[in-house]
Amino acid sequence: MSDTARVRNERNNPLNLKVCVLGGGSWGTTVAALVARNAPCTLWLRNPDAATEINVLHTNRRYLPDAKLPESLRATTSLEEAVSSADVVVMGIPSQNFRGVLKDVKKFIRPWVPLISLSKGLEQSTGMRMTEVIAQELPGHPPGVLSGPNLAREIMDGSAAASVLAMEDETVCTGLSSIFQSGLFRVYTNTDLVGCELGGALKNIIAIAVGMGDGLGAGDNTRAAVITRGLAEVTRLGVALGGKPETFSGLAGMGDLVATCTSTQSRNRFVGEKLGQGQSIDEIIDEMHMVAEGVKSAPVVMELARTHGIVMPIAQEVYDVVQGKANASKAFRGLLRNPAGSEAEPG
């Protein structure tokens, strides 16, 4: 280890914490690469060939083509090996598989080890946020979420980016935030766990709507309008569920929404664009090897909106399209038919 790396490790990981990241997709691998610059880090994934590639070639070409991973990052297919000695467990697992992996983690994790979610989805069967699932399955383990406008490939390329680590305990949150900080990747802290987590989950549906508009050939004015009115919907539901209004104006809210709605790297925007071009949702999903959380979250979000009496016209139209009840063109015509009243009101 170079003197520079040693100084960085001592500054960002003064307690010499060991970290494991579960999930070898693009974002899980990227976070593991960031953490490995500050702390001993093990990446768990199911594919033995991918684990060998990471350990020998220091690449994960399926999810991060052309990216070079730190040589200090170690991969394993053994969940026990990854979790049993970890001081922090990071969950880079899609929302619909999250609980199942947690049940397996329970067998090996030591008491009081924090669990940090990277997932930006809601559990379909319960409507729960991932930190709620953590609290239910592993009570006594401090839950948290790392969220923000974070496109994995740009971060691996060294572009400047920022994220938010949210936990209810401010002291624990501050202590852990530096583990993720690396180079031009800045990590802020927030105690509004609910708001930060919902901002990441709800924006995916708006990104599908923006993608549908792009696929239909709508212009920049349309995109800006959908993003802005979408943010209003996200904020209304997020506040009703316990989030703070100001959180939805920050990195985990507006920041993440803008990145996801405008980037060609966004999976949810990609799904919307293909829907706008006339493909069915089944055809689109079959072409993808990564998860677009907005497709799974749409039914959950609409159920939450109905339960709390929140009007979400954009989310409703996306829900109708992904459920096969309407096509993208019909959805956009439906939005245009909504009367425009006060900007402070839904619609």
- 203 classed as catalytic: yes
Architecture category of domain 3-191 in CATH: 3-Layer(aba) Sandwich (3.40)
126 within 8 A of 152, measured Cβ to Cβ? no
Q: Output the furthest CA–CA distance in the chain (Å, rounded).
A: 63
Look at residues 117, 121, 150, 145 and name the one whose alpha carbon lies nearest to residue 259: 150
Q: pLDDT by residue for the chain (347 residues), tens digit each?
A: 555 555 455 567 776 899 999 999 999 999 999 999 999 999 999 999 999 999 999 999 999 998 999 999 999 999 999 999 999 999 999 998 999 999 999 999 999 999 999 999 999 899 999 999 999 999 999 999 999 999 999 999 999 999 999 999 999 999 999 999 988 999 999 999 999 999 999 999 999 999 999 999 988 998 999 999 999 999 999 999 999 999 999 999 999 999 999 999 899 999 999 999 999 888 888 887 666 787 888 999 999 999 999 999 999 999 999 888 888 888 877 666 665 555 566 65
DSSP β-bridge partners for residue 42 = 20, 74
Spatial separation of the C-alpha atoms in residues 38 and 34, rounded to whole Å:
7
| Domain 195-337 belongs in CATH node 1.10.1040.10 | yes
Q: Shortest CA distance to 120 belongs to which of 92, 153, 90, 139?
A: 92
CA gap 23, 39 in Å, rounded: 18
- Domain(s) labelled CATH 3.40.50.720 in the chain stretch across 3-191
User: Catalytic: which of 68, 103, 107, 203?
Assistant: 203
Q: What are the residue ranges of CATH 1.10.1040.10 in the chain?
A: 195-337
